[in-house]
Amino acid sequence: MPMTSSAQEHRVLVVDDDDDIREVACLSLTLVGGMETVTASDGREALQVAGREPVDAILLDMMMPVMDGPTTIRQLKTDPATAPIPVILLTAKLQPMHQDELKGLDVAGTIAKPFDPMTLSQQISNLLGWAQ
Amino acid sequence: MKDEDDDAYDSVVAAAMMRIRCDAWMTNRHRSDELTSLASRWRSQGILPGAERRRAREVAHALKGSAGTFGHPEVGTAAARLEELLGDDIAPDCDAAASDVWSLIERINEQLSCPPSEEFPE
């Protein structure tokens, strides 16, 4: 059964251009973690959703068309309404150039792809200090 | 202690996960078909135009993230190598690079011929 603690009250914006990754992440967070989810398929759409709907965290893919993860984070952090939302980057194995790019970004943590859908919600809760 | 409701719920979750994995497997087979098509043209024409190289790299990147998550970690590894090989510094008329790319795509196609396993990778 899903967790019934305070994690259930959390709403996470899942941003990934891959439909299957987005779906499995949402399934994991809702069915395993007892969270709520909203989705976006690129950074630009994520900015719109985050500005329109209350979310407690953003799970953001690093490499996406239209607007990539780092650019999206910078935009989120310039808007007072979205700046406080913690962002977790979802990324494939980091190349050195990407590690340098991440250094200046205000992120709550990173989760590596491939991820285990059965433990994804726990990883997010651990990074954000949410009880599960 | 787990009760019957827990077991039933776990079964629902497992079935939903398996459905997505099958969808992802099909998506990734389409991706490997596209890579095969691009690499075939590269082999037959002896050159890989920049736009096609960038497209192949995008497809390899998508395959890397998806295949590893959905039960084909070895495909994810091969796709990661493919993404590296298709970087900006690749020579568009390099036979050796084309050969390496072809080998990786053959490996990816072979691995994706099998449906995903039931367990998610650790």
| pLDDT digit string, tens, across residues A90-121 | 987 555 556 677 777 889 999 988 888 889 99
The DSSP result for B2-62, as a single string, is: --HHHHHHHHHHHHHHHHHHHHHHHHHHHHHHHHHHHHHHHHHHS---HHHHHHHHHHHHH
Is A16 strand, coil or helix? coil
Query: Looking up tokens 């953001």, which residue turns up?
Result: A60
Split at pLDDT 50, 70, 90, the class of A5 is: very low
Subunit contact B17:A27, Cβ cutoff 8 A: yes
Span A8-19, pLDDT tens digits: 589 999 999 999
Contacts of A31 in chain B (CB under 8 A): 12-13, 16
Give A23→chain B minimum CA distance, Å: 7
8-state DSSP, A122? H
User: Is any Cβ of chain A less than 8 angstroms from the Cβ of B121?
Assistant: yes
- Interval A17-22 mean pLDDT: 92
User: Is any Cβ of chain A less than 8 angstroms from the Cβ of B23?
Assistant: yes
Q: Which pTM does this prediction carry? A: 0.83
Which residue of B lies nearest to A113 if distances are taken between CA atoms? B65
The C-alpha torsion from B57 through B59 and B65 to B71, rounded to 10°, is -130
Residue B122 pLDDT: 46
Kindly state the percentage of chain A with pLDDT values over 90: 64
Query: Looking up tokens 């996470």, which residue turns up?
Result: A12
Beta strand segments in chain A, E: 11-15, 36-40, 57-61, 87-91, 109-112
User: Is any Cβ of chain A less than 8 angstroms from the Cβ of B89?
Assistant: no
Say if residue A54's pLDDT is above 90.
yes
Subunit contact A24:B12, Cβ cutoff 8 A: no
Say if residue A59's pLDDT is above 50.
yes
> Tens-digit pLDDT profile for chain B (122 aa)?
456 777 777 788 888 888 898 999 999 999 999 999 998 888 888 787 888 888 999 999 999 889 888 888 899 999 999 998 888 776 666 677 778 888 999 999 999 987 876 655 44
Residue A57 pLDDT: 97
Average pLDDT, chain A: 87
ipTM tops the 0.85 cut: no
Residue type, A80: P
Between B14 and A35, residue with greater pLDDT: A35
- Interval A79-85 mean pLDDT: 94
